[in-house]
Structure formats: C-alpha cells, structure tokens
Structure 1
Amino acid sequence: MTDYRKLFDLTGKTAVVLGAASGIGKSSAEALAGLGARIVCADRALDAAEATAAGIRDKGGWAEAAGCDAASAADVNALAKTVMQKFPRLDIAVTTPGLNIRKTILDYTEEDLDRVLNLNVKGTVWFFQAFGRIMVAQKGGSIIACSSVRAVTIEPGLGVYGSTKAAIGLLVKGFASEVGHAGVRVNAIAPSIAETALTGPFKQRPDIYNLYAGHTVFNRWSSADEVATAVAYLASDAASYVSGSTLFVDGGWTAVDGPPTGLTQLHK
C-alpha cells in the first residue's frame, strides 16, 4: 500500500525559492522547510531574504539566503551556480517575483513595457534555463513558476500584466514538453488575491477589499500560506504525474462570472 504521508515529505530534499523575501515566496519557502526541505531563500532584497531564512532556522529548519535579481539572467545563473556548489542535487526550484504596472495599453510607455516583460516573462525564461539545465543533467526535479488569475480574466489597466501571466502558463507547458524525458516536472500556480505586504494598502480600503473578496466564492482574500500549500504539493512526490499544468488557487474566482449575488434569495 502506498504511504501517502511520505509522498508529501520533503526531508532530505533541497529547494531554491526566488522571491523569498515576502508574500507568496516567503510562505512557499516556509512551507517547503516545514515539510523537511533545505531552503535557499533568494531575493533582490537580501536582508529580507535573510530574515525569512532566519525564521526557518528558528523553527529548526535549514535555510540560508542569497541575493538575486529575478530579471537578470546573470544573477539567476549565478544563483544556480551557487546552489550547485553547495549541494550535490537540487530537487525543487520555485520562482514567484512579478511586476504589475497598472496602466491602460494606450498609456504604456516603452520603459513600462520593458520592466514588466523583463521580470515576468524573460525572468521566467532565465529561471527555467538556469535550473532546468541542472535538473535535466541530474534527471529529475520540480520547477514551479507563478502565474495569476489575470492570465484568463482581466480588467482595465491589467492587459499587459495579464498577457505576461498567460505567457507563463504557455512557457510552463512548452518547457514541460521539453524536459519531461529527463523526469523534470514544470508547473505553475495561479493565485487570485492574497493578503501580503504588497496588497496591505488595498486591505485598508474596505471598498477595494470587499470588491475583490466578492469575486471569490468564499467572499474573502486568501492568505499567502494557502497559496504556498499548492507550491508544496507541486514540489512533492504527491504530484509525480503532474507537469505542464497551472494550478489555480483562486477561491473560485475563475469559476464564477462576477460576484456571487442573490444567494440569499436562492436559498429561501
């Protein structure tokens, strides 16, 4: 009989999480560490990444920090080299950084476009290349990127951002098809709205908070931890036959056409 608990156990495995300084990246690093993995917490904000690593160590886990700009191919390649100098094998590679410049397409400047594309799209490609090469050579591993509900549902001012998140979903499918022969799995998560430091200002405005909460079937935002559990699943052997997929962790956002109204009347 299969030991299902063991399938989720990451003891003895090594992971790198890019974007570990805050939000979903931080929670992902903590989730993987909580299941037993050794974690390299990487971020452009090195001090904050070190704080994440220190928090993991305080709870008995193994973690260290590394600086890395996710939009820089040189930085990402250097991070991969550093990881392989420290460990004989890399089992899990997670990248979560993303940038949204909220403007209509008519208002986008070339600088705006370059910034969003460089991090969201090119940064994902650099990450896939650097860590994919490692995993193909060792014939195994799990790579996880971060898409969004905005890949499939949009509102004014999010067209460019949404297109990059849709691109991530297709990059995942394409890369999964290219490295599956080596036993490497490639997937993405797609959150909707999560309570993080970055979304903190929106939470202070009840009108905005309630508007976005109303798009979910639970009428609330998620915590970053709820998204991180999906990362942990995709990283684990429990997802051994899952590749090329985008796992929506959106509270039903993409299951309903707008806020679920009229429920009280329906139940009367």
Structure 2
Amino acid sequence: MSKSHMFDLTGKVAAVIGGASGIGEAVTLGAVSMGATTVCLDVKAEAAAATAAKAGGSTESGAIDITDAASVNSALDAIVARHGQLDILICTPSINVRKKILDYQDEELQRVLKVNITGNFNVLQAAGRIMVPQKRGSIVLFSSIRSLVVEPGQALYSATKAGILQLARGAACEFGPSGVRVNCVGPGVVETPLTAPIKANPDWYNAYASKNAFNRWAQPEEMVGPTLFLASDAASYVNGTIIYADGGWLAQDGRFTPPGM
C-alpha cells in the first residue's frame, strides 16, 4: 500500500458503538469521511439513526446494548450478513458514578462494572469471533487517563478504565496471531454531553483545563485522528497498546513554573 493511502478506509466495514453522541458521533462521521462503510450503533436507536443521517451516503445505524451479549452478537452478526465482513470495531461507551469508595452502593458498583467491564468484554468477544476466522481486523476500545491517575470519587471508574486497557492487551495477545489488532485510546477531559455537568461548574471546569499543557478541554473531533489511526493500515504493526490523547495531562506534574524558567 502506498503511503498516501495508509489512512484510507475505503473498502472497509466499520462499526462504531456509542455513535449517537459525543466522541462516538465524531468518530462515526470521521470514519465515513475516510471512506469506510460505517454502521452507527447505540443503545439509543433513534439517536444513532440521526447520526447516520448526518453522515449521509450509505451510513447505516442500529440498536445495541453492550451489557447484553446476545444484543452485541446480533448487531455484529447482522453487519456481517449484510456486508460479508467486519474490518473495524470501535467501542466508546462507559459510565461513571462519582462517589468515594465508602459512599458507593452495591447497585452503583454493579452498574458501572456491567457497562465498563462486562460491556467491553462482550464487544471484544463478539468482534473476535468474527475477525479471528476472517484473519484481519482492528478493534479500538476507549480507556482513559484514569487508567493511570485517579482523584477522590474516581476509584471505581479508574479501575474499570485500567481493566479495559488490560482486556485490550489480553485480546491483542490472543487475536494477534490471526492478524487482528486490539488497541485503546485514552482521552483526557473532553467536552461531551456526559461531561456537561462538570463544564457547568466554572471552578471544576478550569481545574481540569489547567491540568494539561494546552490549558483547555478537548473537543470530540480531536479524538477522531487517534482512533482512526489505530483503525487504519497506518497502524498495521500497532497492537496491544494505548494512545493517550490528553493534551499533555500525564506529561506534566502541576502548573507551577519555577522562577527564571
């Protein structure tokens, strides 16, 4: 493949889970623009259809509940039945209940684990069952900077984001011999509908903005490049790793600049 076509997704079939809003919507639109036959999947079927309509062309949509293995298998099998292949699977959804450990209720614990861990496992398993026999494919899961760093009220969320990364690494080891790659994107703080309550609090918003070198939050569109790089043939030897798209959050230790610097 020529270098000018390494990022081209023409001829590939991509499924974007969580594509109805936020990062997933941006990635869906990006995959379409790069030439992929794209299916926008979300637990909110009508919103997924709206994203597909916005993307235009032959973009498709459908319903999926990642916490239900049967739902995941059905959605992905339907794509293969229509198109004969599944080359790219991108999974963005996760949830967070911001509470200190001593304040967590069991129902909240189970809800976060079910979406973030069980859900991503279901997606990995269903995609792997398709891609391993076809001996090609790229799976991109969404971890976070919280896989490495934490703050009060984020212990469980951080544990699940580290878990997602380890699921991806394990799958990379198991699927890699069949030519299937599995990687993660690790965003910092991104302006999405899910982070709107934080954005509405100026002190909280500014505190997070000041944690990275750009001194601002990311836009969902800024996650498209890292995601589609991992999905594309440009990343043909990238497997079992994570790209942190965090504006330098993990690179710097505080915002103080010593005198004379």
TM-score > 0.5, shorter chain as reference: yes
Whether 1:262 and 2:261 are equivalent positions in the alignment is no
Matched letter for residue 36 of structure 1: G
Q: Does structure 2 conserve the Cα–Cα contact (< 8 Å) formed by 1:37 and 1:62?
A: no
Instruction: Name the CA distance, whole Å, in 2 between partners of 1:180 and 1:123.
Output: 21
The within-5 A match list for 1:77-156 is 77-156=73-152
Deviations 1:121-176 (A, max 9, x none): 01111001101110001000000000011110000010001000001111111110
Q: Does structure 2 conserve the Cα–Cα contact (< 8 Å) formed by 1:193 and 1:250?
A: yes
Whether 1:206 and 2:202 are equivalent positions in the alignment is yes
Deviations 1:62-96 (A, max 9, x none): 21110011211111111111111111111100101
SS at 2:139 equivalent = strand
Cα deviation, residue 207, structure 1: 1.3
- Residue in structure 2 matched with residue 56 of structure 1 by the alignment: 55
Deviations 1:32-89 (A, max 9, x none): 11100011100001111111100010xxx42111001121111111111111111111
Which of the numbers 231, 253, 257 marks the counterpart of 2:249? 253
Bigger shift: residues 234-243 or 23-32: 23-32
Once superposed, what is the RMSD of the aligned Cα atoms?
1.2
The within-5 A match list for 1:176-191 is 176-191=172-187
Deviations 1:150-203 (A, max 9, x none): 110000010001000001111111110001010000000000101112222322
Q: Which runs of 4+ in 1 moved over 6 A?
A: none
User: Unaligned 5+ residue runs, structure 1?
Assistant: none
SS at 1:261 equivalent = coil
Matched letter for residue 121 of structure 2: V
Matched letter for residue 82 of structure 1: A
The within-5 A match list for 1:232-243 is 232-243=228-239
Q: Does structure 2 conserve the Cα–Cα contact (< 8 Å) formed by 1:95 and 1:146?
A: yes
Instruction: Name the CA distance, whole Å, in 2 between partners of 1:13 and 1:197.
Output: 29
Matched letter for residue 44 of structure 2: A
Q: Does structure 2 conserve the Cα–Cα contact (< 8 Å) formed by 1:21 and 1:48?
A: yes
Cα deviation, residue 5, structure 1: 2.0
- Residue in structure 2 matched with residue 36 of structure 1 by the alignment: 35
- Residue in structure 2 matched with residue 15 of structure 1 by the alignment: 14
Instruction: Name the CA distance, whole Å, in 1 between partners of 2:260 and 2:182.
Output: 42
SS at 2:60 equivalent = strand
Instruction: Name the CA distance, whole Å, in 2 between partners of 1:214 and 1:156.
Output: 18
Matched letter for residue 261 of structure 1: F
Cα deviation, residue 205, structure 1: 2.4
